[in-house]
Amino acid sequence: MSRLLTMKDIWIEGRSDETWNPIINGVDLHLDRGEVLGLIGESGAGKSTMGLAAMGYCRDGVRISKGSVEFDGTELTTASAAVKRGLLGKRIAYVAQSAAASFNPAHKLIDQHSEAPVQHGVSSRAESSRDGMELYEKLRLPNPDTIGFRYPHQVSGGQLQRAMTAMAMACRPDLIIFDEPTTALDVTTQIEVLASIRDIVEQFGTAAIYITHDLAVVAQMADRVKVLLKGDEVETNETREMLANPQQEYTKSLWSVREFERPAKPAVSTGTTPVVSVDNVTAAYGTVNVLNEVSFDIHQGRTVAVVGESGSGKSTTARCITGLLPPKVGGISFDGATLPLSYKSRTKDQLRQVQMIYQMADTALNPRMSVGNIIARPVEFYLGLKGAEKRRRVDQLLEQIELEPSQYYDRLPSELSGGQKQRIGIARALAAEPRMIICDEVTSALDQLVAEGILRLLAELQDKLGLAYMFITHDLATVKAIADEVVVMKDGRVVEQGPKAEMFQPPHHPYTDLLLSSVPEMDPDWLTNLLAERGVDNIGDAAVDKM
């Protein structure tokens, strides 16, 4: 195989407040024709920056300060903008993380597909449109002849991701950079996209750099894996070799994250009154029912994981419990007593008992308020503490979430890392001294190591304070780690519920089975075997639709 891309001793810097800070520190990378390299690491590792640098591209405020990027004989770091434009889109293509944001909302898919071939003079508009439809078919998009005439907002996320892969293929490039292409997708949808990408890359012999933070995904896609940590290379090896025998401590720690699991708790004795009981709830936005006859109980000191894909009604159930969306039928009871349906008619004490932690700690914290004030607010509002007493309570809460009070009290959210922000969200919920906390995808925006820290903290707090958790997630690894009981939801209904041990043992409801079997595993042959087992036309959304 001949060498396609050689990146030598790459140093990249980013500017903040007039100073240049290192992002990538002297990393080498090379890629042969037709080879797929997996680039993994946590956020801040510099994966995307490295991927873009392979295209000779830097985002605003970022520069390659040293090193060489040689693509098939052309040195990209010194090439003129015009020379680079001639390569980008034509010989090197890019597939972004969020296809929904990366397709231009103002143009139809097929027009965006044809743009690169037409502008680069590769083929005519008509030819490239026809080719686009063939690619859509190869990527198993529904209605390949007409889907291109839709606008991006009319197409689902998983389909858009495949359309974007087709777009990257439009000029039959030599190299494609895939930047976390399945991170935003549900597990069942992810499988389809992974399978499509793998097929088409193989079929056209395209070389690829596959960027992801998910080890199991990279195991399916890459021939070789490179691990990055804070801009430094940790190690590189053949995928199978790396999985079987990681050399570095950091790589081993990445591998072991998925092993956190709480010991099982004894079953709740019958006759105990649950903290919160969801009783036959049907709820609607307007006239459309989004929840149908949902019932489950949450007991003191227990975690109920509510699992399902986007749109299955998990968050809507949370809205019903908090009273933000009063149910049409059914009710919510707390400690055996019925709660008023709307939060407006609940007492302050009833409101205090159920608190929430959100997925996006970024947007759930007021950027203008200091950490101390964010936590002090519920302390004062619900418990009426003032002055020194309030301050003492806030310090106590900060200690509980393992952040040093003197150091963090006056910080603004912008001065915290993602994991720290989520800890503040937890402290804010604890401040009300609730009996139950609803955790809405609290770890899905975090890296695995950080997420694990949050899960451990939540587990400790539960043991200490006897909290009941409703844990909304689409990630089954998280369920395995923390749940006592599991509720599986699909299309606004509960399809299966029970203790965790039972849920992870067959026999399953077919939908639970599909969800479980769709979670990528570290085995490099997992995807191949799964496809062989299910058949290409029966994976992902197609399989969901058949239920």
Partner 1 sequence: MGSILRIILQRLALGVLTLIIVSLVIFAAVNALPGSFATAILGQAATPEAVAAMEQTLGLDKPAVTRYFSWLFAAVQGDFGTSLSQANFASFAGSVADTGVTVADTLAPRFRNTLFLAGLTALIAVPVAVTLGVLAALYRNSAFDRATNIFTLSSISSPEFFMAYVLILFLAVLNPWLPSLSNISDDMTLGERVRTSMLPALTLTLIVTAHMMRMTRAAIINLLASPYIEMARLKGMSPFRVIVKHALPNALAPIVNVIALNLAYLITGVVVIEVVFVYPGIGQLFVDSVKTRDIPVVQACCLIFAAAYILLNLLADVLSIISNPRLRHPK
Both tokens of 536, joined, read 């290409």
Q: Is the CB of 207 or the CB of 488 nearer to partner 1?
A: 207
**Does 94 interact with partner 1 (rule: CB under 8 A)?**
yes
Q: Is the CB of 3 or the CB of 85 nearer to partner 1?
A: 85
**Does 71 interact with partner 1 (rule: CB under 8 A)?**
no
Both tokens of 277, joined, read 């009981």
| Least spacing, CB of residue 464 vs partner 1, in Å | 43
Q: Is the CB of 153 or the CB of 344 nearer to partner 1?
A: 153
Q: What is the Cα 211 distance to its own chain's centre?
A: 14
C-alpha dihedral, 60 to 66 to 71 to 76, nearest 10°: 50
**Does 146 interact with partner 1 (rule: CB under 8 A)?**
no
| Least spacing, CB of residue 88 vs partner 1, in Å | 4
The three-class DSSP label of residue 132 is: helix
Q: Which helix (H) or strand (E) holds 449?
A: helix 448-465
| Least spacing, CB of residue 159 vs partner 1, in Å | 13
Which residues between 343 and 362 bind partner 1 (CB under 8 A)?
A: none
| Site pattern 50..69 for partner 1 (x: CB under 8 A) | --x--x-x-xx---------
Dist CA 177 CA 162 (whole Å): 14
Question: What residues form DSSP beta bridges with 6?
Answer: 30, 70
- Binding part of the chain for partner 1, among 18-26, 105-113, 325-333, 480-488 by CB under 8 A, reads 105-113
Instruction: Give the residue among 274, 360, 285 at the shortest CA–CA distance from 324.
Output: 285
Q: Is the CB of 93 or the CB of 374 nearer to partner 1?
A: 93
- Binding part of the chain for partner 1, among 103-111, 303-311, 424-432, 443-451 by CB under 8 A, reads 103-111
CB 186 within 8 A of CB 441: no
**Does 85 interact with partner 1 (rule: CB under 8 A)?**
yes
| Least spacing, CB of residue 207 vs partner 1, in Å | 17
| Least spacing, CB of residue 176 vs partner 1, in Å | 11
CB 485 within 8 A of CB 304: yes
Annotate 470-538 with three-state secondary structure: EEEECCHHHHHHHCCEEEEEECCEEEEEEEHHHHCCCCCCHHHHHHHHHCCCCCCCHHHHHHHHHCHHH
Dist CA 73 CA 52 (whole Å): 18
Which residues between 406 and 435 bind partner 1 (CB under 8 A)?
A: none
Query: In the chain, what are the helix, strand and coil shares in percent, each to the nearest 5?
Result: 40, 25, 35
Q: Considering only residues 115, 293, 380, 541, which one is a binding residue for partner 1 as defined by CB under 8 A?
A: 115
**Does 93 interact with partner 1 (rule: CB under 8 A)?**
yes
| Least spacing, CB of residue 152 vs partner 1, in Å | 8
Q: Considering only residues 7, 10, 116, 437, which one is a binding residue for partner 1 as defined by CB under 8 A?
A: 116
Q: Which residues bind partner 1 (CB under 8 A)?
A: 52, 55, 57, 59-60, 84-90, 93-94, 96, 98, 101-107, 115-116, 119-120, 150-151, 153-154
